[in-house]
Amino acid sequence: MNPATTMMREGVAAALGAYVLWGLVPIFFKQLGSVPALEIIAHRVVWSLLLVGSLLAVRGRLAPVWRHAQNPRTLLHAALAAALVMTNWFIFVWAVNADRILETSLGYFITPLVSIVLGVVVLHERLRPRQWAAVVLAVTGVALEGWRIGGLPWVSLALAATFGSYGLLRKQLPVDAAGGLLLETACAAPFAALYLLWLGTMGNMGHFGQTVTIDVLLVASGAVTAIPLLLFAIGARRLPLATMGFLQYVAPSLSFLVAIFFYAEPMNLSRLLAFAAIWVGLALYTADLLLATQAEAARRRL
């Protein structure tokens, strides 16, 4: 088999694995509905740090991460990225256990379009006409959802803003996905550990130690965090940006289906119209990305 074809197939399998896991992860966190979101995030940080640190140690890749950690600028970027992704995780876990999975799905659908806006505002990028149309449709979808609930859909907007900003910061970190996750969780770990120790001083360890099921799920939250990210890194190294851009909609699409068919969250006409506006905007965005990639490839062949 052609090596390029093998690499493409491996990349698609890894990326799909990551997005499928991310799309189904609400089912996992629903099982922790009795545990406060902050406690879940604290365990998620600690167990992710131990898992990723162990993996990198076994593969002999801790030295480059330590080298980057000694750079104050890199460490500051990692700390800011950690603050954003921990906030994103907290909102997501809270929303899932508050029966608001559809709002998380909407948030991750509009994240790519928020990234476009951040590119304009922060990086002074210029938008092509189809990108402008995609942004307008996204704003329309958010406005429709806001009208439905009688206010801003803050869960969706907060998830999109924090993850979009995290992506922008993450691009500026000179570390791969696993090393970046290790740096980010290392920055957050002292706060997570102090919180868990505080729970211990209150005469218990929160919900940890109450039942075997909860203990296993809390420990497993580290793998639930790390494994999709590592699969994503494999896919990103093997696939073109346009292919990754197309596949990323698998996760919020699965979350959407989980919310409707597993947990019977309400779907009325106004909410359907909001999602439809976002979907059309994403279709335009994806088409623009594919056309731009093809045009760039054609220019390189000349």
In which region does residue 132 sit, left (phi positive, over 0), alpha (psi from -120 to 50) or beta (all else)? alpha
Q: What is the pLDDT of residue 206?
A: 59
The 10 Å Cβ neighbour count of residue 99 is: 15
The reported pLDDT for the residue numbered 302 is 67
Taken as a whole, the chain contains a residue count of 302
Q: What is the C-alpha to C-alpha distance for residues 96 and 91, in angstroms, rounded to an integer?
A: 9
- Per-residue pLDDT, 128: 80
Closest CA to 148 of 192, 102, 110: 102
| Residue scoring higher pLDDT (279 or 49) | 49
The mean per-residue pLDDT over the stretch 65-79 comes to: 88
For 75-113, the pLDDT digits (tens) are 898 899 889 988 999 999 999 999 999 889 888 888 877
The residue type found at 200 is: G
Per-residue model confidence (pLDDT) at position 299: 77
Where are the domains positioned within the chain?
3-301
Give this prediction's pTM. Answer: 0.82
**Minimum mean pLDDT range among 28-32, 45-49, 174-178, 265-269:** 174-178
pLDDT over threshold 60, residue 125: yes
Residue 196: φ, ψ to 5°: -65, -35
Look at residues 25, 26, 7 and name the one whose alpha carbon lies nearest to residue 15: 7
Which among 71, 87, 22, 61 is positioned nearest to 173, based on CA atoms? Answer: 71
